[in-house]
Structure 1
Amino acid sequence: MKPVSTIALSGMQAARVQLDVASNNIANAQTLGFRRQTVTQQAQPEGGVSTTVSLVNTPGPDFTGDVVNQLGAGYAFVANLKTVETDQKMTGTLLDITA
């Protein structure tokens, strides 16, 4: 099992990839021949998450889906950041108790 902060950091990374892909999709939606990308996230048995970016088979924009993905990625990033902050506070408290 990985430490809590490592798991949360992988979640932050996955959220950043999701945000990057959604932003890229929106920015290039009107580009001739552009194909959207999608992100697949997979929980890892030892903890954390991995991401895979792939091209969507059908051309065309999905502004609603991409905006929702951006919002979800932002919330996921903040939630994982709070986990890292809480882990650091708890570690500091534990060190204070044992010192």
Structure 2
Amino acid sequence: MPLSVNNSISALNALSTKQNVTANNIANSETKGFKKSTAVLEESSTGAVNSRIQTVNTPGTIIPQADGTLEEMSNVDLIQETTAMITTRHAYEANLKALKISTAMEDNALDMIG
């Protein structure tokens, strides 16, 4: 398999992980004390894309309770997460298109050879 195909597939896998992490953050945005995660995309020495998940430990909104105690909500910003999903979706679509074009180019080359 050509290197470009491997790189596109690794990018699709990494972007899928990133989208799943963002979806998990959104699903838990109302969970008290939940700490969001982020998927950091990194390039390997071969040009492949890897994802590394890390927790973001910034404090959530502190809500005073009727009994005088303070309760920490999640640290998820829904606007930020929704924007991240849109960006990730576009990156996924671009890598999928690159993979399709690479495959079509291979098919054409094979047709020309024989």
Fold in common (TM above 0.5): yes
Instruction: Tell whether the 8 Å contact from 1:35 to 1:55 is kept in structure 2 after alignment.
Output: yes
Residue identity in the other structure for 1:47: G
Rg larger for: 2
What is the Cα deviation at residue 63 of structure 1? 1.1
Name the counterpart of 1:31.
31
In structure 1, how many angstroms separate the alpha carbons of the residues matched to 2:47 and 2:94? 16
Name the counterpart of 2:105.
90
Name the counterpart of 2:47.
47
Aligned-residue Cα RMSD (Å) equals 1.1
Higher relative contact order (CA 8 A, sep 6+): 1
Aligned residues: 98
Instruction: Tell whether the 8 Å contact from 1:41 to 1:50 is kept in structure 2 after alignment.
Output: yes
What is the Cα deviation at residue 32 of structure 1? 1.5
What is the Cα deviation at residue 94 of structure 1? 0.4
Question: Stretches of 4+ moved more than 2 A in 1?
Answer: none
What is the Cα deviation at residue 18 of structure 1? 1.1
Residue identity in the other structure for 1:33: G
What is the Cα deviation at residue 48 of structure 1? 1.3
Gaps of 5+ in 1: none
Q: Which has the higher helix share?
A: 1
Give the structure-1-normalised TM-score.
0.93
Residue identity in the other structure for 1:28: N
Gaps of 5+ in 2: 61-74
Q: What's the secondary structure of 2:46's corresponding residue?
A: coil
Q: What's the secondary structure of 2:41's corresponding residue?
A: strand
Name the counterpart of 1:16.
16
Q: Does 1:67 align with 2:82?
A: yes
Q: After the TM superposition, which of the residue ranges 61-70 and 22-31 deviates more from structure 2? A: 61-70
In structure 2, how many angstroms separate the alpha carbons of the residues matched to 1:76 and 1:14? 11
